[in-house]
Amino acid sequence: MPPKKITARKRSDAAELRRQAEAKLSERKKREAAPPATESDTRRLVHELEVHQIELEMQNEELVRSRTEVEALLSQHADLYDFAPVGYFTLARDSAIRQVNLAGANLLGVERGKLIKRRFGVFVSAQSRTTFNAFLDKVFTSGSKEACEVALLKDGHESLCVQIEATISDASGGEREVCRAVVVDITERKRAENELRALSTRQEAILAAVPDILMEVNKDKVYTWANPAGVEFFGEDVIGKEAAFYFEGEQDTYGVVKPLFNGSEDVIYVESWQRRKDGEKRLLAWWCQVLKDTDGNATGALSSAHDITERKRAEQEIESLSRFPAENPNPILRVEQDGQIIYANPASEALQCLWNCTVGEYLPPDWRERVVNAARNSARTTMEVECEERVYSIMIVPIPDPGYVNLYARDITERKRTEEKLEEERILLRTLIDNLPDRVYVKDVQGHKIISNIADWRASGEKTMEDVIGKTDFD
Report the pLDDT value the prediction gives residue 5, as an integer from 0 to 100: 42
Residues 6+ apart with CB under 8 A from 399: 405, 406
Asked if the model's pLDDT at residue 254 lies above 50, the reply is: yes
CA separation for the pair 18, 26 (Å, rounded): 12
Over range 219-246, report the average pLDDT. Answer: 95
Asked if the model's pLDDT at residue 468 lies above 90, the reply is: no
Report the pLDDT value the prediction gives residue 17, as an integer from 0 to 100: 65
Least confident span in 17-21, 201-205, 316-320, 467-471 = 17-21
Expressed in angstroms, the distance from the first to the final Cα of the chain is 166
Supply the mean pLDDT for the chain: 86
Report the pLDDT value the prediction gives residue 48, as an integer from 0 to 100: 76
Condensed to tens digits (0 to 9), the pLDDT of residues 311-366 reads 999 888 888 877 888 888 999 999 999 999 999 999 999 999 999 999 999 999 99
CB 290 within 8 A of CB 268: no
Condensed to tens digits (0 to 9), the pLDDT of residues 422-440 reads 999 888 888 888 888 888 8
Residue 45, CB-side half-sphere exposure with 13 Å CA sphere: 5
**CA 83 to chain CA mean position, Å:** 45
- Helix (H), strand (E), coil (C) string for the chain: CCCHHHHHHHHHHHHHHHHHHHHHHHHHHHHCCCCCCCCHHHHHHHHHHHHHHHHHHHHHHHHHHHHHHHHHHHHHHHHHHHCCCCEEEEEECCCEEEEECHHHHHHHCCCHHHHCCCEHHHHECHHHHHHHHHHHHHHHHHCCCEEEEEEEEECCEEEEEEEEEEEECHHHCCCCCEEEEEEEECHHHHHHHHHHHHHHHHHHHHHHHCCCEEEEEECCCEEEEECHHHHHHHCCCCCCCEHHHHECCCCCHHHHHHHHHCCCCCCEEEEEEEECCCCCEEEEEEEEEEEECCCCCEEEEEEEEEECHHHHHHHHHHHHHHCHHHHCCCCEEEEECCCEEEEECHHHHHHHHHHCCCCCCECCHHHHHHHHHHHHHCCCEEEEEEECCEEEEEEEEEECCCCEEEEEEEECHHHHHHHHHHHHHHHHHHHHHHCCCCCCEEECCCCCEEEECHHHHHHHCCCCHHHHCCCCCCC
CB 368 within 8 A of CB 339: yes
pTM, two decimal places: 0.47
Asked if the model's pLDDT at residue 8 lies above 70, the reply is: no
CA separation for the pair 469, 442 (Å, rounded): 10
Condensed to tens digits (0 to 9), the pLDDT of residues 130-187 reads 999 999 999 999 889 999 999 998 776 667 899 999 998 765 455 568 999 999 999 9
365 or 72, higher pLDDT: 365
Phi-psi region of 66 (alpha: psi -120 to 50; beta: other; left: phi over 0): alpha
Q: Which of 331, 335, 357, 324 is nearest to 345 (CA)?
A: 331
